Amino acid sequence: MAKTEKIDALISTVRELNHRVRPMLNEGIGGGQGNQAQAHTILGEMRNRELVASHGVKRVMLSNREGIDAMEIKHMMGTDDARITLEEALEIHQDPEKLPTRVLLSEFGSAREAILSLVRELPDEQWEAASSTLGEGDLNSVEAIVDNLIAEDQVAVRKINELLTITA
């Protein structure tokens, strides 16, 4: 899949959630009961994954800048570790089960937009470049992070659609 297609896929998920899924969801805290609550939980997982991915993209991009080492990245990212964990990302955000669905969708959309704003104009060599200072790992390039998000989005949106019985 080409870079522009990947960016379109990231945008498509936000559109799907806002235009097709959102109207069918209970807006209450925790998402309600039954299938609504399960869909809310999946949205919470998507939001959490997006927050971590947003920091991951920033981390990879910083690590690939010439003259910046791991200690500087740690300082810029405001964390003791150059790799932000889910727990660190969630320190500034509430538990998804304590939030209304619309807030989860908004936070997901904001984190997705942060990613899109970073990668839209990114040159191909930076898009594909693996981080040189952060060690080995599956999500060690912007492209790998985006590919992972696309794959995870497809699974999550399919599950939500099945729970809410949305048909194309």
State residue 28's pLDDT score. Answer: 62
Across the chain, what does the average pLDDT equal? 78
Given a contact cutoff of 8 angstroms between Cβ atoms, the answer to whether 29 and 100 are in contact is yes
Average pLDDT (17-38) is: 79
* Residue corresponding to tokens 């969630």: 90
Domain CATH number, residue 57: 1.20.120
For 52-107, what is each residue's pLDDT tens digit? 898 888 888 777 665 444 444 454 445 544 445 555 555 555 677 778 888 889 99
Of 67 and 137, the structure prediction assigns the larger pLDDT to 137
Q: Within a 10 A sphere around the Cβ of 112, how many other Cβ atoms? A: 22
- In this prediction, residue 154 has a pLDDT band, given cuts at 50, 70 and 90, of very high
Give the 3-state secondary structure of residue 135.
Answer: coil
Given a contact cutoff of 8 angstroms between Cβ atoms, the answer to whether 108 and 17 are in contact is yes
Domain span at residue 146 reads: 3-164
- The closest of 157, 149, 152, 148 to 18, measured between CA atoms, is 157
| pLDDT over 90 at 21, yes or no | no
Average pLDDT (12-37) is: 82
Two tokens, residue 84: 């932000």
State residue 126's pLDDT score. Answer: 81
Is the pTM higher than 0.85? The answer reads no
How many domains is the chain partitioned into structurally? 1
The size of the chain, in residues, is 168
The DSSP code for 136 is -
Name the maximum alpha-carbon separation found in the chain. Answer: 52
- In this prediction, residue 25 has a pLDDT band, given cuts at 50, 70 and 90, of confident
